[in-house]
Structure 1
Amino acid sequence: MKLEAQFIFFSLLFSMLMMAGNGAFAADGIKGNYEQARWHPIHFKPAIDDATDEQCLSCHQEILDRKVLKKSLAGVSSTATTAWYQTLSSYSGEQDTFHRRHLVTPLAKQVMDMKCNTCHQGSNPRQEAAIPPDHSNTDFTLRKAVNPDICLMCHGANPYKLMGLPSPWSESRNMFQGNCLLCHASIRTTRHQVNFLKADAIEEAGIKDSDVCFGCHGGRQWYRIPYPYPRHSWKGMAKEIPDWAKERPTLSEPRFQIKIKQAAK
């Protein structure tokens, strides 16, 4: 009850601060108090859904300022090795940090429109692991700072068997002239209908280099399983649904759906 009372108090306090600043995140007023900052309403629903990158970076700018070490702790130079994300032709330049590769690198700016809250949906102190561990609290569920499903959407395995390929794309690409659009010019043509990607830019880049497609569909695989993408209907789509797709949704998760701006009346 004590924690709940503190949360209510800080929520009311910082709501007043936000209103006083015309809705802006009044970071300057809490930078000296970490405990107050971590309970700010922007870290919780519903404020996190509308949080801007500017608001997030007012306290977390070091995320983008941070650079890759010139040398690893073992003494290996970053220029003498190839990072896994540098193995595809779609990435150019030196090694860069995780967050910068998703927000500010040339490839990120070209084909992505990711925001801080695309992945981060708050940081609730009440859902962190207890220190020291409380083994008696068997009902506690440790929450992830980022839902792994978000990562899986772009870093899952290549489902070559579902696609009817004889082997993984890296092995069979020559059979298809190294061109994903050789088949996908007429199959599943409604693609990338989410608000964190630039669909038109991806299509244009994919025509020039299939690594742009493969990069997010197996080329930068983190997981052994593919992501079960929703099946947006496309022109000429067969009425019969394959067994593996019968449980798939037909629209993306609501918060990732593209919002169409209504014309002013």
Structure 2
Amino acid sequence: MAARGKHRRPKARSLTRGVVAAGTGGAALALPIVGATGAHAAAQPAQTAQVAQAAVPQVELVTYKVAAGDTLSKIARKHATSGSWKTLYQANRAVIGDNPSMIHPGLTLTVGTKKSQKSANKTKPTTATTQTTKSAASTVTPASAKTYTNDLDGWIKESLDVMAQNGIPGSYDGIYRNVMRESSGNPLAINNWDSNAAAGTPSKGLLQVIAPTFSTYHVPGTALDAFDPVANITAACNYAAARYGSIDNVNGPY
């Protein structure tokens, strides 16, 4: 919003006339004196005060410090970044590096910009300038961030949002049905007895994904830990989509 300066505007005074006596020998002539603060003299500064007022737009960067458990997808959704996590990654590639999944707590990312209006001088802003400033300020009101509960319901919903951003099919019911069959909803479940385990690659997490499958179908922007609930669900659904068309088509061991 434009800053309101402390100032005084000159008061327009009516044309002031006085009479002075000028000696002309023995007679006195009455001469009119026009005051310096007359209406004509005040008109120009008053007009200038309104014309000189201008709003100077300034752009400020909005930053975010990465916290434990954050992913680019989660940060992009929280700050309503246009273009999802990919846009966020491109804007911060110099900070993040070549692997968009490798973000660590304490990293400072630029998540957007906002505009502010400041007065070019200390004259009182006109009505038009005030309305323009208010309009600009209203455009930077932050959108409410989407949050998820830290339970199976929240993990599935967050994963579905990530899947939607990456064109991966699947429904809540399809994911829930397979999670309950594979792990009973335990994100730390691990199979240490089947053939995969015997080969040194035990199935892990909510949808019991082995390491090679998780690595191949991992979705950028999610955690690299196969036990991470959202990363596990999303990678498994990505694999199921490639092999079966959708996790909804999986009704048994896959």
Same-fold call, TM > 0.5?
no
Q: What's the TM-score bracket when you normalise by the shorter of the two chains?
A: under 0.3
> When you count strand as a share of all residues, which structure comes out higher?
2
> When you count helix as a share of all residues, which structure comes out higher?
1
TM-score normalized with structure 2 length: 0.27
| Larger Rg over CA atoms | 2
